[in-house]
Amino acid sequence: MNGEKKKFRAIVVSHSLFLPGNKCNAFLTVPEQIDVGKMISESSDDVVFLARFPDDTDKVVDISKLPRMGTLCFISKFVMNGTKEASITINTKERVVIEKFHQLEVGLNLEVEVSFPKQELSQREQGLVKKIAVLVKGLLKEIGRSDGRINGVINTINKESGDDLFAYCDRIADFFVVKQEERRAILEELDLVKRLDLVLKVIKREEDHIRIAHDISNKTRKNMDQTQKEYFLREQLRVIGEELGEDHNEAEDFVKRLEESGAPEETIKKVKKDITRLIKTNPSSPEIGILRNYIETILDLPWVKHSEDETSLKKARATLEEDHYNMSEVKDRIIEHIAVMQLNKELGGQILCLVGPPGVGKTSIAQSVAKALGRKFVRVSLGGVRDESEIRGHRKTYIGSMPGKVISGMKKVGTINPVFLFDEIDKMSHDSHRGDPASAMLEVLDPVQNKTFVDHYLEVAYDLSHVLFICTANDESAIPWALLDRMEIINLSSYTLVEKQKIAMQYLLPRVASEHGISSEIISFENNALEFVIERYTREAGVRELSRVLGSLYRKIAVQIVNNEISKDGKVILDTAKIVEMLGKEKYSKDDLSKADAIGVVNGLSYSAVGGDVLKLEVVLTPGKGELKLTGRLGDVMKESAQIALSVTKSLAKDYGIDSSLFETKDVHIHVPSGAIPKDGPSAGVALVTALVSAFSGKKVRGDTALTGEVTLSGRVLEIGGVREKTLSAYRYGIGNVILPTSNKKSLDKVPEEVVKGLEFSFMSEITEILNWMLV
């Protein structure tokens, strides 16, 4: 039949390759496959099976990628398994060479034209074939001795194949060759000598595997005592280790590392007991993994290893100045810490809390502190942490248990005296169902208690007293008071325009230029261009948004450089017109806050976790029964301030010509804009009274003045907080006058000099003084 060509229907399958002369089962899962298989089985015709590699889908056929060798088969049995799968039994006949493909329809419906390859063996080839066949049969005999289960299969193949070495080769290959790549190579090899050689290599490899397994089994039996049968698996692993040259005693290694770790005596004693349990535990027990992980965690923890502290005040100061502008309070505190360390070598860990609006550099200054001290740094974010176990860990008896964030951080950093940053400590959730993580932090952040901190996973005391803990928060009031009492608070305030300009020039622009692959020397800002970017495209307490805006500018310039619109070495001068061209229309205006005098509208100064702001408090009177309506997402304290303000207004009605009957016939609606943002606190009291008196009396309120202060029922104006942030916001919006409580005069010391010079301050202690100034 050599050279004769015939046409057959074909079935394309993935990753299933059938060798000639064997009987096997297969599954058809694609509708086109099932239809062809059913039709062929009913007609008793032969069919060609083609195997695709490495494609793993049976839905689309690319004829150009199909193999040019297949197997001619007869389907002896066809059974449907449900509606989407058919199982077939096939008798494989012979290999065929695909001469042509005919795609009858879209999909897997194929017809192939094939030829039947035949090899005529020369005398020399016949001799080679017989020699290789002898080697194959010899190896199979050895395999049969080692594994009796295989012996019967080999005898059956020998009997059925007889002297036909072509059939013998394919049958042996079908039984022993598992890898589809090797099966494909054997199917496509038309030369019997080379085909037998491929089979010989596979059989030799299988014989080696069985021999090694047999040797290991024999050595294991010789070394195993009859009374220790339950340790059979461990003994096998030991012998395998010997074969691989990795013979060592894990338990001895653990004990040696434990004694060298510097851990306390109590810890060493407990862990040695766990090592003993590890040795005695059956290797098949789930507890073996738990014990090993626990012991390795203890050994990986730093017990005595520490970083050498930097003791040069000058060098530490230079490091802090290099990374951050201003922040004098934080820098002075770190310099003080280093100075005390020189005088007291036993100084324990300190707990600092940096409080300030987003983007002012709280997290990055903590990294600089570690750099200045010469210590390692580890950061843990507490935002959204709601489970006590995330701080204290899970007991090791639970599946998947692990240490808490504190011990995991210490293990990661590898020293006992790192700078440990707890970021966003005010964002921890309070969930009594899972324990209170804030309460779990009390022991960590207490210099007296953290010397013996116990993680649930460790079950032994761990010394945290050498750690310098730094926490960051946006809102001090959101930190539980017991936790707040354990920390030294350092406030980081908003930046002024001048400070932002200096930060941009010294830190942001060089960094952004480096990130975008542009030399900082080729770009310069003309006149007040940088100030223009800060004022017209950002309005924030920190510089995070400014960094993004500058990044956007540099990306525009990068595009122009790549497009050869700008020379890479040429100068780029940015003026206000070019900035508007690149960034688009200005987002903010210095005059976007109306400063016109109006009835019932007052400029109030607020302070929140994101910095200071100017809010227009509005009061409107509507026909009604004297009810008070409050909107703008106000907190309980601010609602009480509104009640107090209305009572104060009623008491002052006669002095400001207010018809007292209006309190009975008008409803009062007080609204504080930016309704999506929560607002609370008592400092809006004087602004509320001013707006109410204006609304009831019909007198306008000065629009060029902003005010803040708490008011009492008797009309006294009390001290408030956040003066720096509030005055900065007034300055930022271009408001000329600010009224503060008299008791806040001392607070001006913390207000930047440029703000003090740019605003007119008035200090008042009575609400009537404020009303006489504000009403026009």
- CA nearest neighbour of 380 among 400, 352, 349, 405: 405
Q: Enumerate the active-site residues.
A: 683, 726
Residue 549's identity, in one-letter code, is V
pLDDT of res. 376: 93
Lowest mean pLDDT among 186-200, 301-315, 416-430: 186-200
Q: Are 95 and 113 in contact (CB under 8 A)?
A: no
- How high is the pLDDT of residue 238? 56
Band of the pLDDT at 249, cuts 50, 70, 90?
low
- Higher-pLDDT residue of 350 and 722 is 722
pLDDT computed for residue 710 by the predictor:
94
- Judged by average pLDDT, the poorest of 9-13, 93-97, 121-125, 223-227 is 223-227
How many CB atoms are closer than 10 A to CB 202? 20
Consecutive H or E run containing 131:
helix 123-146
Q: Looking at residue 126, what is its pLDDT? A: 72
For residue 246, what pLDDT band results from cuts at 50, 70 and 90? Answer: very low
How far apart (Å, rounded) are the C-alpha atoms in residues 6 and 45?
Answer: 13
CA gap 736, 590 in Å, rounded? 12
> pLDDT category, 55, cuts 50, 70, 90?
low
Q: Check residue 750 and give its pLDDT.
A: 82
Q: How far apart are the first and last CA of the chain?
A: 115
Across the range 601-609, mean pLDDT stands at 85
**pLDDT over 70 at 326, yes or no:** yes
Q: What percent of the chain has pLDDT over 90?
A: 28
DSSP 8-state symbol, 485: T
Q: Give the pLDDT score at 227.
A: 43
Q: pLDDT tens across 523-568, in order?
A: 888 888 998 998 889 888 889 999 999 999 999 999 988 888 877 6
Residue 622, strand partner residues: 667
The whole-number pLDDT of residue 413 equals 93
Predicted confidence (pLDDT) at residue 762 exceeds the cutoff of 80 = yes
> Of 3.40.80.10, 3.30.230.10, 3.10.450.750, 3.40.720.10, which CATH number belongs to 598-774?
3.30.230.10
**pLDDT score at 57:** 52
Mean pLDDT of 424-438: 78
- Quick: pLDDT tens for 159-216: 766 667 777 788 778 777 778 788 888 888 888 888 888 877 877 877 777 777 767 7
pLDDT band at 773 (very low <50, low <70, confident <90, very high): very high
What letters, b where the CB count within 10 A reaches 16 and e where it falls short, cover 308-320? ebbeeeeebbebb
Tell me the average pLDDT across 666-695: 89
CB 391 within 8 A of CB 441: yes
Label residue 245 exposed, middle or buried (CB < 10 Å: 0-12, 13-18, 19+). Answer: exposed
**Can the peptide bond before residue 54 be classed as cis, meaning omega within 30 degrees of 0?**
yes
Of 92-106, 398-412, 623-637, the poorest mean pLDDT is in 92-106
Which pLDDT does position 627 carry in this prediction?
A: 93
CATH code reported for the domain at 313-491: 3.40.50.300
SS3 632: coil
- Cβ-Cβ contacts under 8 Å for 541 (sequence gap 6 or more): 356, 357, 358, 359, 360, 493, 494, 495, 610, 611, 612, 725, 728
Backbone phi, psi, residue 262, to 5°: 85, 10
Domain 5-115 coded CATH 2.30.130.40: yes
* Global model pTM greater than 0.85: no
- Most distant pair of Cα atoms in the chain: their distance: 131
pLDDT for residue 598: 92
pLDDT in tens, 14-54: 767 888 888 888 888 888 888 888 888 888 888 888 887 65
Helix axes 192-223 and 165-176, enclosed angle (nearest 10): 40
Q: In the prediction, which pLDDT does 1 show?
A: 44
Q: What is the pLDDT of residues 358-409, one digit of tens each?
A: 888 899 999 988 988 889 999 999 988 888 888 988 888 777 788 999 999 9
Tokens coding 759: 């605003």
pLDDT in tens, 56-98: 455 566 777 788 889 999 998 999 988 888 889 988 988 889 8
Whether the CA torsion 25, 29, 33, 39 is positive or negative: it is positive
Please provide the average confidence, as pLDDT, over all residues in the chain.
84
Q: In the chain, what are the domain boundaries?
A: 5-115, 123-215, 250-300, 313-491, 497-583, 598-774
Question: Is the distance from CB of 768 to CB of 688 less than 8 angstroms?
Answer: no
Which range, 106-120, 416-430, 671-685, 694-708, has the best average confidence (pLDDT)? 694-708
Give the lowest-confidence range in 240-249, 473-482, 634-643, 710-719: 240-249
What CATH fold (topology level) applies to the domain 497-583?
Helicase, Ruva Protein; domain 3 (1.10.8)
DSSP state of 496: P
For the stretch 448-459, pLDDT in tens is 888 999 999 998
Residue 417 reports pLDDT greater than 70: yes
The answer to whether residue 447 scores a pLDDT higher than 70 is: yes
Q: Is the pLDDT of residue 223 over 60?
A: no
